[in-house]
Chains A and B, each alone.
Chain A
């Protein structure tokens, strides 16, 4: 199992450009999440999905969009990139069972908007 994979690892964007951050998991998890991590701020939930075709906003959704057409993939779209979107982005997945709902994180994408 590769777990949660994210591409690209690094990206530099110019203001106003758009891009898609890719996330794939091979654990057949129904829950998937996108977080952003800024220094001293912890992780903030951007969007999440409880299954294919179902997505919902988290704490900081403005400027982002997501889709979930399959169980495995959960891409994050940035439209009209702004310097405030400079951050490290993490995708995670989990499965609801009778024990703790452990979230498995990908390695992250470091995005810089100049």
Chain B
């Protein structure tokens, strides 16, 4: 049973466009929501993370939006670049270290 549901499974965006990936969770005890980025043949790497006491966090072109009442959070990639082509995983945990991952979204940025 997937504790974190992620959509879409894949998306294609033009260079300079916005990529949006959505995640939903059920467990209200979750208090840490990271996003990981994975390139082919590599292990995932932390991209950005948020705690539920804020509704938005921005780091460069990457923004997490968090809606606690809806139990949803999303990743926005602004001005998407070909180098952003990767698989993105949302995750959640209630104690910082045991992460439950979403199924992943493969993002392809067309030049």
Interface SS majority for chain B = loop
Asked if B44 and A94 sit within 8 Å, CB to CB, the answer is no
Closest A residue to B93 by CB, please name it.
A101
B interface bracket (residues with beta carbon within 8 Å of A): 20 to 34
Asked if A42 and B6 sit within 8 Å, CB to CB, the answer is yes
Task: Return chain B residues, CB-CB under 8 Å to A50.
Answer: 97
Asked if A41 and B103 sit within 8 Å, CB to CB, the answer is yes
Chain A count of residues within 8 A CB distance of the other chain = 26
Closest B residue to A50 by CB, please name it.
B97
Closest A residue to B43 by CB, please name it.
A105
Asked if B43 and A90 sit within 8 Å, CB to CB, the answer is yes
A-B contact number at CB 8 A: 59
* Interface positions of B from 71 to 97, Cβ below 8 Å from A: 89, 96-97
* Interface positions of B from 4 to 51, Cβ below 8 Å from A: 4, 6, 9, 32, 34, 41-46, 49
Query: Contacts A40-B9, A42-B104; is A100 near B98 (CB within 8 Å)?
Result: no
Closest A residue to B42 by CB, please name it.
A107
Q: List 19 A-B contacts (CB under 8 A).
A: A31-B97, A40-B103, A40-B104, A42-B6, A42-B101, A43-B99, A45-B98, A45-B99, A48-B98, A90-B44, A94-B97, A101-B97, A102-B34, A102-B46, A104-B45, A105-B43, A106-B43, A107-B43, A108-B43
